[in-house]
Amino acid sequence: MKTMRICASFCALALAIAGCGDDDDTTLVPDGGAADASTDATTMVDAGAPAEHLAQTDLYSNFAARTINPALIEYIPAHALWSDGALKRRWMSLPAGAKIDTSDMNHWRFPIGTRFYKEFAAPGGNGIYETRLIEVTGVDEFRMVSFVWNAAQTDAMATPDGALNVNGSQHDAPSSADCRTCHRGEPGRILGFSAMQLSSPGMGGSSLLSTLTAQNKLSNAPASSAGYPVPGNATESAAIGYLHANCGHCHNPDTPVYNQTQMVLRYDITATTVATTNVYTTAVGQALMSASYTSNPAHAAETRITPGNHMLSAIWVRMNARGNNDQMPPQPFTELPDDAATGGGLAKVAAWIDSLTP
């Protein structure tokens, strides 16, 4: 079955799993559309002429040998975004002597010249599909492009229009427009590199947040040496973190989606208990707002999250639906359920819902 365009699917998932708002994806207003001006204050353009070949960027110190530039920072978000089964690696390149603007610890801003790379590879280790680049090219200007690898794995070309079925796989590389749609809900446009996402112990045993602090790469140091991990036990933090990573960049007050739902799935680091997180206060026990969805008797008893019963929770029900108008992400983005191929997102959300006291 055909899989989705991965980047665009994140936004579709975030918009729709709420079980509220419209049942189509018309609220994802393209740049230049009729969205409220506050939802897209930055200039989402591909500024300048991007490198045509990945080898022309600073990702590799030796492209032929696939040697990653040692000056880059490799990172792993505490709560991963859905990769549709692909293996992912991530790096960021910070200009020499520059600092990340962390004056708003919830929403980091990055200096001009900062680059983020994300590699998508075949699960069996049979080559790389694509490597995505987000580069800060000016004040509130960003270049977003996918470099698609050839079958021989000898070159990766910039492909701003995206590509379907890369090298005979079911992997789709998103277009630059797809990426802009997905990233528009975060003011700094970077989704997985944040105070919360970098607060867990990383590859070196300590959190990358503490490492960046020690290296004086942040304009403002964290208030606590413990950082900002999602509160709660393992079950609670896994589900809240998953919803933040995969849904929060659309379900927040900075997007058109909020005008329809008033539901916030983006985690705010000031929430130090589960009960004060946005997902808890705006989803648990909250009624649905979509008349077209609730008109179906099968959904009449659902709330956004029904404590103790994931089967009556619209967030889980719509994540699990396929092949009909309830499906989230909506058709035609995907034919695959959000289960093992996504690192168990359904299971994480279900486990937390079922642990809640009715």
- Containing structural domain, residue 89: 42-226
Q: Clarify whether residues 151 and 286 are in a common domain.
A: no
Q: Clarify whether residues 78 and 220 are in a common domain.
A: yes
Average pLDDT over residues 167-173: 89
- Domain boundary (226, 250, 284) is at 226
- Domain boundary (226, 247, 269) is at 226
Q: Clarify whether residues 220 and 75 are in a common domain.
A: yes
The helix/strand/coil state of 56 is helix
Rounded to whole angstroms, the Cα distance separating 267 from 315 reads 16
Number of domains in the chain: 2
Q: Clarify whether residues 189 and 253 are in a common domain.
A: no
**Looking at residue 327, what is its pLDDT?**
78
Q: Clarify whether residues 130 and 173 are in a common domain.
A: yes
Q: Clarify whether residues 172 and 53 are in a common domain.
A: yes
Q: Which 8-state DSSP code applies to residue 323?
A: S
**Looking at residue 37, what is its pLDDT?**
29
Residue 38: what residue type? Answer: S
Residue 17: what residue type? Answer: I
Rounded to whole angstroms, the Cα distance separating 142 from 244 reads 23
- Domain boundary (169, 198, 226) is at 226
pTM: 0.83
Q: How distant, in Å, are the alpha carbons of 78, 193, 195, 220, 323 from that of 200?
A: 6, 12, 10, 19, 37
Q: Clarify whether residues 72 and 199 are in a common domain.
A: yes
Q: How distant, in Å, are the alpha carbons of 45, 187, 251, 334 from that of 140?
A: 10, 9, 21, 32
Average pLDDT across the chain, whole number: 82
pLDDT digits (tens, 9 = 90+) for 188-240: 889 899 999 999 876 666 799 999 999 999 999 999 888 999 999 999 999 99
For residue 42, give the nearest of 171, 154, 136 by alpha carbon.
136
In DSSP terms, 171 is beta-bridged to: none
Q: Clarify whether residues 120 and 259 are in a common domain.
A: no
Q: Clarify whether residues 173 and 307 are in a common domain.
A: no
**Looking at residue 255, what is its pLDDT?**
85
Q: Clarify whether residues 160 and 295 are in a common domain.
A: no
Q: Clarify whether residues 25 and 94 are in a common domain.
A: no
Total residue count of the chain as it appears in this document: 358
Task: Decide if pLDDT at 185 tops 80.
Answer: no
Q: Clarify whether residues 274 and 194 are in a common domain.
A: no
Task: Decide if pLDDT at 6 tops 60.
Answer: no
Rg (CA), the chain: 20
